[in-house]
Amino acid sequence: MKKAVILLSGGMDSATILAIAMDQGYDCYALSFSYGQRNKIELIAANKIAKASAVKEHQTIEIDLGAFGGSALTADIPIPKNRTEIGGEIPITYVPARNTVFLSYALAYLDVIGADAIFIGVNALDYSGYPDCRPEYIEAFEKMANLATRRGVEGKHPIRIETPLLYMSKAGIITAGAALKVDYGITISCYDPDKKGRACGACDACILRKNGFEEAGFPDPTKYQ
């Protein structure tokens, strides 16, 4: 069986890539991170998603990205609400080098289990201005990954960083996920949920998600505050 490491945040995008990887016949090894973020509720969602799918293994790694500060998602900086122009400049919710740290751990995991691919739910269309969600970044990481590891040096096929959502709209992601029976009711996207896990409805992530359900013509299963 071919194996893949799936970066599973608990959001709708990562739930969708897990479903896509399963559908492509991969044995899936899910990887989540507890990184001092506000939304620990994401991890509860990630556990639910991993259980609902038949993943081979689900690891959660505790990391301290907040040690350096510099982001509204890890430090005590207000989350921007009701922004009308999403995209363009890099927003305060950017976590320095987050995807690079995540992908590096995924690469360690891949190297140990001898996997072929890492699936990550980055998106270049609906994205919020993060440099580490762009296709040129992913290509550069993939090239580096093949030079960095035992698996890259000794493997028969190159390591691939799979980004099935890269050019999909949020509406397209929802439509694709629904066809694979993803339960979006157990996912969470909000940067600033309340203690019961209900979404704020006003941060960039909530706005993109709400618009996605509307455009896809699917009922939005999100619980709002």
Positions that interact with a copy of itself (CB under 8 A): 59, 61-65, 67-70, 90, 94, 96-101, 103-105, 107-109, 111-113, 131-132, 134, 136-137, 140-141, 143-145, 147-150, 152-154
Cβ-based nearer residue to a copy of itself, 44 or 148: 148
CB of 82 to a copy of itself, least distance (A): 23
Helix H, strand E, coil C: the string for the chain is CCEEEEECCCCHHHHHHHHHHHHCCCEEEEEEEECCCCCCHHHHHHHHHHHHCCCCEEEEEECCHHHHCCCCCCCCCCCCCCCCCCCCCCCCCCCCCHHHHHHHHHHHHHHHHCCCEEECCCCCCCCCCCHHHCHHHHHHHHHHHHHHCHHHHHCCCCCEEECCCCCCCHHHHHHHHHHCCCCHHHCCCCCCCCCCCCECCCCHHHHHHHHHHHHHCCCCCCCEC
Cβ-based nearer residue to a copy of itself, 148 or 178: 148
Cβ-based nearer residue to a copy of itself, 47 or 149: 149
CB of 189 to a copy of itself, least distance (A): 22
CB of 51 to a copy of itself, least distance (A): 20
Cβ-based nearer residue to a copy of itself, 66 or 197: 66
CB of 53 to a copy of itself, least distance (A): 21
